[in-house]
Structure 1
Amino acid sequence: MVDGHGTRLDSILSHLGGTLLEEVAGRVHPTAVFTDVVIDDRRDDEPLRPGAVLLCAGADERDVPELVERAAVNRAAAVVVRGPVVLDAETRTAVENSGVALLALTRGATWAQLVVLLRSLLTTSVGGEGTEELLAGFPAEDSFALANAIGALLGAPITIEDQDSQVLAFSGGQDEADQTRIQTILGRGVPQHARHAQERAGVFKRLDTSEEPIFIDTPLIEGVAGLSRVAVAVRADDQVLGSIRVAVAEPLSPDKERILSDAAKVVALHLLRHRVGADVDQQVRADLVATALAAGPAAPEAIERLRLARRQVAVMGMAIPGTGGTANAPKSRQVLKRTSDALAFHLSVVAPGSVAALAGDVCYAVIPGPAAAGGSGGLPEKAQRVAEDLLRRSQDGLGGAVLGVGRVVDSAHPADLARSRHDADRTLRVLQHHPGCRVARFSDVQVEALLLEIGDVLDNEGGLLAGPIERLRSYDRENGTFPLDTLSAWLDGQGNVLSASASLDVHPNTFRYRLRRAAEIAEMDLNDAEARFAAMLELRLGRAAPP
């Protein structure tokens, strides 16, 4: 237990537990206070501040006894090492008796992210209880309070926008601006026509390259009545995070430009805090989803942390044809990230409890149904409706995405969950070979998936050896005739000469002659059911092969 300024350690774990940090051993005392973040350097003999959290990036299980002893001597609150951590009985007992909590940094999170979030969670109150986290004097979660403060200092309505011109916060007094600003506030983003006009006028390029506020003659650029804007980029080092936009009748005075420039630095702290928190959550969530779907030894724990244990679930995969290559990797990744975010948001509304994450070129979602003891409860149909509704609402804003739904499984069996993911992958492959169809369940395309996989096996074996179909194909190439078309039409017509001849627009007698000739060339007995099936399968495999 430590007295002093800081925040309670159990409060930190409630914020970051399950996403960045895991409790490994030792008891977190209800009154233990976290006061400082220290990066371990064994060459440094400086004592730790009481209540410090010691981050040991280069340590493993073998270093735990020494690290915990050092922390206990200095009355530090906790030691953090990279997870997973497996302790022997002797070491675990030593940690339990030390009064120090041993924590693990979860997979998918970085030490830099942990440092930023730990330091942002430190407050100036005793015990950290009943207070809000402050950044530059403003509540970290209240960007609108910050926007109002900036607007009051400038005497004009402002918006805080991200790089995509989406409104993150705005001040009061927007009714004093113009119609474009009102549309921006109502739509939580700059209207497309206004953004395109600014792009053509080079506004975003000026903003990205200028360290000072810039004046934007909005009425002239956009061709509509209204106020001009003064804007300044919000930066973290060389990275542009967004901008502050001020609606003005005339350029700002030098004093107010300085106020705006200073305000951009404060806004950068808020945007960084939100961005780091969101990035950490997404990275950890993606790692958990990937782990859960991999059926490895860590899968049960990942399933538990995702709150999917003991549930009926189905895995949905979403992919965008053409984004798997490296020719335009950054743009492809951006498109995949946008569609993944769209799917995650859609699921949060229509299928609460679902989890989604981008893994490679596919966004996977695990959609829960009723408890494992019950049936599927219409889960496959529900998942398909969710996918179709997403495409309908997006109005093709998802770049031609296709969605495949795997079988319903019990999440208590990780191998079954991995099978559902495999189903989703196989369904996506079928959909990418059938333009026009964008949503399917594996049960509806299983045969097509099997045909593609048989084709893969044949390719690995060098293709089919010379048989009836290959003999006809070779004869066609050498003689410029089409006996293969005749046999194919007859097989497709299930032996009905009239329908088969009509499909080729030839007389039935002519068709019969060509069919007999095709059978001779192929060395095939048309009365042999096994031979007919083999020929139909080979023809079907040829049609299923990628172009």
Structure 2
Amino acid sequence: MSTLARVLDELGTTLIDLLAGDPGRADDVGGVVIDDPLDDQVLPGQALVLGIGLREPAEISARLAELGTHDAAALMVRAPLAVTDEIIAAAEHSGVALLGLAPGASWTQLAALLRSLLAEDDVGPGETLGGLPSGDLFALANAVAALIGAPVTIEDRSSRVLAFSGRQEDTDPSRVETILGRQVPRKYSQSLEQRGVFRRLYRSGGPVYIDSMPGDETVLPRMAIAVRAGDEILGSIWAVVREPLPDDRARAFCDAANLVALHLMRQRAGADVERRLRADLVSTAVEGGAGAAEALRRLGLADQAAVVLALALEDSHGDDPARHAEHLAQRQQIADALAMHLSAVHPRAAAALVGDVAYAILPVSQDDAAARTATDFRNRIGDRPAVLIGVGPVADGLGLAKSKAGADLVLRVLRAGRGRGPVARLSDVHSEGLLLELSDRIAERGDGLSGPLARLVAYDRKHNACLVQTLGAWLDAFGDVAAASAAVFVHPSTFRYRLRRLSEVGEIDLTDPDVRFALMLQLRLWHPGG
């Protein structure tokens, strides 16, 4: 059961403290929501609300009272906090427990950890592996810790913490820092790498004893064992010990690694099924058609305004076959990161990878709000890998296909290098989008370059001249010869001569506004050298 009491049992002492209220009042926690006082949020029942930035007792008390009217389970704020009588009374009256997040812990990592802990099982409610609920890594970590008599963490290949047991307060600062950041600190992982620990761990079929880190006596020894599925390394289990485990506990450690492998494989298989199902629902919803209404209903997005986001890696189109696998993994990682970010901002948002583009449905009524959310995500992940995000127009109900078409067009503009940033709305690239659509029409009809511009191109190629460049510079400068000649680095007199020459060669009347417009449009649609 994903109750508030279980959250405190699994994450307490190290990450979370109960500051006020009774956690036993809440039934199953209905979701994790980042509190935004500037947004009219719709909270799921029994929500666990992350009150980022709440510090003053008065505002905390007021927020507890308000959350009580929305049937929330708990409010979490940053500790340490002076718990006043006013706060205790507000928690008691509202029925909303107040939790404190340990100093140094990341809100982002906590949100991910909570969602992992509270996620519904991807298998039947009664399915177990080794007597434990399938995929429940926290229960598994506690069971392993009880077997070997030492606090443990279960980590993936990248030393990210998947779950941890109790009794972590009996360990060392390195372990506490690992759990707070949900990642082994870089200085410790580098030390292990330099000492050849990972090489020994992945080559060994049993537990490996690791001495204290040289130069840092505060770091206790470890016993670690690799978690394998056949020849594949899935991760590892790390126990904080004082000395090597006795033979009987070492054998139990090996047996535990086999059980952890089963749980990780079952969890991964369930995640793959869940991911494919969500991708099908998102794809059906944004494409429109007969199944769109049912897909939106199953996503919880029926009968409301929404915006479609289209996200792609900046350098992944036209993939090099040698980098195909790398790009495939990057796309899925970015899609998962986008889904997590959007669910924290808008609990009902949905995102999935469809082909090489990640699509997201964001339930907002304004495209500028969607653009701000997309920009915030882009800023959070940085430039490795660099991504481009197209924001479609707002659509109502079953009109998401129109929003998707707009987002796709914006993404095309950005991929063509015609945008002014990595995130754009359709209104931001309206003219560039029109030019791309016009280019598509011309390409469909198979039309080639003709008229005066075709004559100038032929002359330039035959005589190695630059009349087309001269014309483009003059049109871009609105006929200002001084500015145009400076743009192409020639003397104004030379530029005037070239203007007269291109008028003769192309048989162009530069005084005719219709002729100038037609030439400017052709130059925008035609790419020299392309």
TM-score by length of 2: 0.70
The code of the aligned residue for 2:377 comes to L
CA deviation map 1:63-102 (0-9, x unaligned): xxxxxxxxxxxxxxxxxxxxxxxxxxxxxxxxxxxxxxxx
Structure 2 gaps, min length 5: 1-120
- Aligned residue for 2:371? 384
Give the structure 2 partner of residue 407 of structure 1.
Answer: 393
Query: Is 2:331 aligned against 1:336?
Result: yes
For 2:358, what is the secondary structure of its paired residue? strand
Distance 1:117 1:297 in 2: 28
* 1:454-473 mapped onto 2 (5 Å cutoff): 454-459=438-443, 464-473=448-457
Quickly say closer, same or farther: Cα 1:427–1:196, change in 2 above 3 A: farther
Task: Name the residue aligned to 1:235.
Answer: 228
* SS state at 1:407 partner: coil
CA 1:199 to 1:359, structure 2 compared with 1: closer, same or farther past 3 Å? farther
Residue number among 335, 342, 351 corresponding to 1:347 in the alignment: 342
Distance verdict in 2 for CA 1:202–1:329, change over 3 Å: farther
Partner of 2:309: 316
Distance 2:400 2:339 in 1: 19
Of 396, 407, 410, the residue aligned with 1:424 is 407
Letter in 2 for 1:440: A
AA of the residue aligned to 2:408? D
Q: Does 1:484 align with 2:473?
A: no
Question: Which residue type is aligned with residue 182 of structure 2?
Answer: R
Pick aligned residue for 1:158 from 139, 142, 152: 152
- Partner Cα separation in structure 2 for residue 445 and residue 386 of structure 1: 18
Q: Return 211-220 or 433-442, whichever deviates more.
A: 211-220
Judge conservation of contact 1:313–1:409 (CA < 8 Å) in 2: yes
Q: Are the equivalent residues in 1 in contact too, given 2:388–2:414 (CA < 8 A)?
A: yes
Amino acid at match of 2:296: I
Q: 1:293, 1:418 within 8 Å by CA — same for their partners in 2?
A: yes
- The secondary structure found in structure 1 opposite 2:315 is coil
Per-residue CA deviations over 1:332-389 (Å, capped at 9, x if unaligned) read 11111111111101101112211000001110001113xxxxxxx4x20110000111
Return the alpha-carbon distance in structure 2 between the equivalents of residues 262 and 424 of structure 1: 51
Following TM superposition, by how much is the alpha carbon of 1:442 offset from its aligned partner in structure 2, in angstroms?
1.4
Deviation of 1:463 (Å): 5.6
Q: Which residue is 1:54 aligned to?
A: none
Cα deviation 1:293-352 (Å, max 9, x = unaligned)? 222322221122112211111110110022242332221111111111111011011122
Give, in whole Å, the separation in 2 of the partners of 1:204 and 1:421.
46
1:313 and 1:410 in contact (8 A); partners too: yes
Distance change (3 Å), C-alpha of 1:117 and 1:532: closer
Encode CA deviations 1:206-227: one digit per residue, 9 max, x unaligned: 434433222334615x988623
Deviation at 1:287, TM superposition (A): 0.8
Letter in 1 for 2:233: V
Structure 1 519/159 Cα, relative in aligned 2: closer, same or farther at 3 Å? same
Note if contact 1:219-1:226 (Cα within 8 Å) is conserved in structure 2: yes
**Offset at residue 232 of structure 1 (A):** 1.3
Q: CA deviation at 1:507?
A: 4.6
CA 1:193–1:460: 2 relative to 1, 3 Å: farther
Superposed counterparts of 1:37-116, under 5 Å: none
Aligned residues: 408
CA distance in 2, matches of 1:487, 1:534: 12
Q: Distance in 2 between matches of 1:285 and 1:215?
A: 43
Is the alpha carbon distance of 1:256 and 1:436 closer, same or farther for their aligned partners in structure 2, counting shifts above 3 Å? farther
CA contact (8 A) 1:148 1:171 kept: yes
Deviations 1:2-36 (A, max 9, x none): xxxxxxxxxxxxxxxxxxxxxxxxxxxxxxxxxxx
Q: Quick one: which amino acid aligns to residue 489 of structure 1?
A: A
1:386-420 Cα deviation digits (max 9, x unpaired): 011112222334x1011001111112x3xx32221
Structure 2 CA distance for partners of 1:204 and 1:360, relative to 1, 3 Å: farther
Per the alignment, residue 285 of structure 1 pairs with: 278
122, 125, 132: which one aligns with 1:121: 125
Does the 8 Å CA contact 2:155/2:237 hold for their aligned counterparts?
Answer: yes
Q: CA 1:294–1:508 in 2, change beyond 3 Å: closer, same or farther?
A: same
User: What is the alpha-carbon root mean square deviation over aligned residues?
Assistant: 2.8
TM-score, scaled relative to structure 1: 0.68
In the alignment, is the contact (CA less than 8 A) between 2:221 and 2:243 conserved in 1? yes
User: Which residue of 1 is the match for residue 437 of structure 2?
Assistant: 453
For residue 121 of structure 1, what is the amino acid of its counterpart? P
Within 1, Cα distance between the matches of 2:377 and 2:284? 26
Partner AA of 2:485 in structure 1: S
* Aligned positions of 1:221-260 closer than 5 A: 226-260=219-253
Deviation at 1:511, TM superposition (A): 2.9
Aligned residue among 159, 164, 174 for 2:168: 174
Alignment partners' CA distance in 1, 2:125 and 2:345: 33
What is the CA–CA distance in structure 1 between the aligned matches of 2:122 and 2:467, rounded to whole Å? 72
After superposition, the C-alpha distances for 1:119-155 in whole angstroms (9 at most, x for unaligned) are x533xxxxxxxxxx65423355753343233223323
- Tell me, yes or no, if the aligned pair for 1:433 and 1:546 is still in contact at 8 Å: no
CA offset at residue 238 of structure 1?
4.2
Cα deviation 1:471-510 (Å, max 9, x = unaligned):
2223223223322222212111122333323434545444
Q: CA deviation at 1:199?
A: 4.2
Q: Cα gap change, 1:529/1:384 in structure 2, threshold over 3 Å: closer, same or farther?
A: same
Q: By how many angstroms is 1:174 displaced?
A: 2.6
**Mapped partners of 2:474, 2:329: distance in 1:** 49
CA distance in 2, matches of 1:231, 1:481: 71
Q: CA deviation at 1:468?
A: 1.8
| CA distance in structure 1 between the aligned counterparts of 2:343 and 2:400, rounded to whole angstroms | 21
**Which has the larger displacement, 186-195 or 204-213?**
204-213
1:536 aligns with 2:517: no
Distance 1:165 1:487 in 2: 59
Instruction: Work out whether 1:305 is the aligned partner of 2:295.
Output: no
Q: What does 1:173-192 correspond to in 2, within 5 Å? A: 173-192=167-186
Which moves more between the two structures, 191-200 or 470-479? 191-200
**Larger-Rg structure:** 1
Deviation at 1:182, TM superposition (A): 1.8
Q: Which stretch of the first structure deviates more once superposed, 307-316 or 230-239?
A: 230-239
Q: Which moved more, 1:519-528 or 1:442-451?
A: 442-451
CA distance in 2, matches of 1:546, 1:240: 50
Following superposition of structure 1 onto structure 2, how do residues 436-451 of structure 1 map, counting pairs within 5 Å? 437-451=421-435
What does residue 147 of structure 1 align with? 141
